[in-house]
Amino acid sequence: MGVLLGLEAEATDAEVVRAVLAGDVERYAVLVRRYRDRYARYASRMLGSRDVAEDAVQDALVRAFDRLADCREPDKFAGWLFLILRNRCFAERRGRQRMERSLDSTDEMFAAPDRPDGAYEQVERAQALERALQHLTPEQREVFVLKHTEGLAYEEIAGVTGATVASLKMRMHRAYDRLRELMKEHL
Amino acid sequence: MTQGYHPLVKRLLDGELSLAELPSELRAEGAEALRLVGAADRSPVTLSSALDERVMGTVRRHAASPGQRAWRWLNTPRNIELRLRVRPWTVWAGALAAAAALALLVGRPAPEPVPGAQARGGTRDSVLVRFVLYAPGARRVAVAGTFNQWDRAAAPLMPAGTSGVWTTTLALPVGQHQYAFVVDGARWVVDPGAPAVDDGFGRRNSVVAVTTQGAHL
């Protein structure tokens, strides 16, 4: 078993993709183990729920398998899978926005009690930010998550999303203003 | 209505300035903004251990479905090793026959190429499909698709003189294929003479359906 794990760890994404395409379906488990958690935080912050994020990651991994023959560059499987997951997260948000439109959620939900406890304030602020992120557009939320949660530079975000650095900065700056408005009770 | 952050404070949040570099009248606003982005939850998220088995269970079912198996069989490139046992004189005879056939073909006027993918003869299970792209100024053009695992180097097109027209002919197995041209090794271009479909990831692929009667766009 040790030898098998060693081989799995050494196999490149491209080697695994080619083996799966050649009929060795079980090798796909290597890619599942390799990427199941890597994008979990991104999906979780984008969707505002770990459970919904888990469904999204599961769907993305299954869809990637179904369309593996379309993966133009098997050595860039990670980026290709990210794009599938990203599309899935955007579609999920759009669907939920349609459902939630009638619920008329308001900014009162961010009103925080006035407490002197600093640690409690930090937790409250973090929770308020999580909720506030769900009130941004998906594009604004994505750039905030990739920069301030995942720690990517604008140039790296441009590389994975295909947007220009200038447009990313514009989205982010609008997000800052919107978050300030939504978080005014917590700052 | 809360006022938006000052542009210099936004540069602070972007990491382009430090708090000390802000004018003194903006430092309180800067500190507030840093509290906002500092609230971002960077703790890792671990998904349920049952996810692996759920994914693999679904994947196994999909792989076992006849449609998926047929599609994968059509799309998966394979190495074929051909071993022949021949007498040396037959090699020379074959070479002479091939040279004679080539001599008959040379000199025939070539039909004017039009953009797109066009079918010609071929074997029972494959059809010769001609790919044509008008790309004046291109240094090199190739066609990549599901039939060659999107390998950008596997099927280069040749320029037809200096007309800007590039062509190649490939033997494609019967089935539906998605493809795109690759100009200068980097730029993906859909075939203007063929229908295109969204590949699901924000790009377009051209489609050709190959049957024993020919290629259909």
| CATH number reported for the structural domain that contains residue A155 in this entry | 1.10.10.10
| Length of chain B in terms of residues written | 217
* Residue-level pLDDT at B68: 67
**Mean pLDDT for chain A?**
83
Rounded (5°) CA angle B90-B91-B93: 60
Q: Are residues A3 and A94 in the same domain?
A: yes
* Mean pLDDT of the A45-62 span: 94
The domain boundary, picked from A76, A104, A132, lies at A104
Q: At which residue do the structure tokens 């998605």 appear?
A: B178
Nearest CB partner across the interface for B51, out of A57, A173, A184: A57
Q: Are residues A90 and A117 in the same domain?
A: no
Domain that holds residue A138: 108-187
Whether this model's ipTM surpasses 0.90 comes out as no
Distance CA B125, CA B211 (A): 9
Distance CA A172, CA A144 (A): 6
* Residue-level pLDDT at A167: 94
Count of structural domains within chain A: 2
Backbone angles phi, psi at B23, to 5 degrees: -60, 145
Q: Check CB contact of B33 with chain A, cutoff 8 Å.
A: yes
Q: Check CB contact of B149 with chain A, cutoff 8 Å.
A: yes
Q: Are residues A161 and A97 in the same domain?
A: no
* Residue-level pLDDT at B148: 84
Q: Are residues A28 and A88 in the same domain?
A: yes
CATH code, A35: 1.10.1740.10
Q: If we measure between CA atoms, which residue out of B189, B52, B195, B72 comes closest to residue A67?
A: B72
The domain boundary, picked from A87, A104, A121, lies at A104
The domain boundary, picked from A51, A82, A104, lies at A104
Q: Are residues A89 and A129 in the same domain?
A: no
* Residue-level pLDDT at A30: 94
pTM as predicted: 0.58
Selected residues 9-28 of chain A with any CB under 8 Å from a CB in chain B: 21-23, 25-26, 28
Interchain CB distance below 8 Å, B149 and A74: yes
pLDDT tens-digit map of A81-116: 999 999 999 888 676 665 555 444 433 333 444 444
Tell me how far CA of residue A183 lies from CA of A46, A94, A95, A111, B32, in angstroms: 18, 23, 25, 8, 11
Q: Are residues A143 and A156 in the same domain?
A: yes
Packing angle of the helix pair A118-133, A165-182 (nearest 10 deg): 130
Q: Are residues A28 and A71 in the same domain?
A: yes
Q: Please list every residue in chain A whose beta carbon sits closer than 8 Å to the beta carbon of residue B146.
A: 69-70
pLDDT tens-digit map of A108-148: 333 444 444 567 788 889 999 999 999 999 999 999 999 99
Q: Check CB contact of B90 with chain A, cutoff 8 Å.
A: no
Q: Are residues A98 and A163 in the same domain?
A: no
Distance CA A179, CA B9 (A): 14
* Mean pLDDT of the A70-87 span: 90
Q: Are residues A90 and A7 in the same domain?
A: yes
* Residue-level pLDDT at B110: 46
Rounded (5°) CA angle B65-B69-B73: 175
Helix residue ranges per DSSP H, chain A: 2-10, 13-21, 28-35, 40-47, 50-66, 77-100, 118-133, 138-144, 154-161, 165-182
Interchain CB distance below 8 Å, A40 and B44: yes
Q: Are residues A142 and A72 in the same domain?
A: no
Q: Are residues A19 and A31 in the same domain?
A: yes
Q: At which residue do the structure tokens 């290597």 appear?
A: A30
Tens-digit pLDDT profile for chain B (217 aa)? 668 999 999 999 999 999 999 999 999 999 999 999 999 988 888 899 899 999 999 999 998 877 766 666 666 555 556 566 767 777 677 777 777 766 665 544 444 445 566 655 555 577 888 888 888 888 899 999 888 878 888 899 998 887 888 888 888 888 888 889 988 888 888 888 888 887 655 677 888 888 877 666 6
Q: Are residues A99 and A15 in the same domain?
A: yes
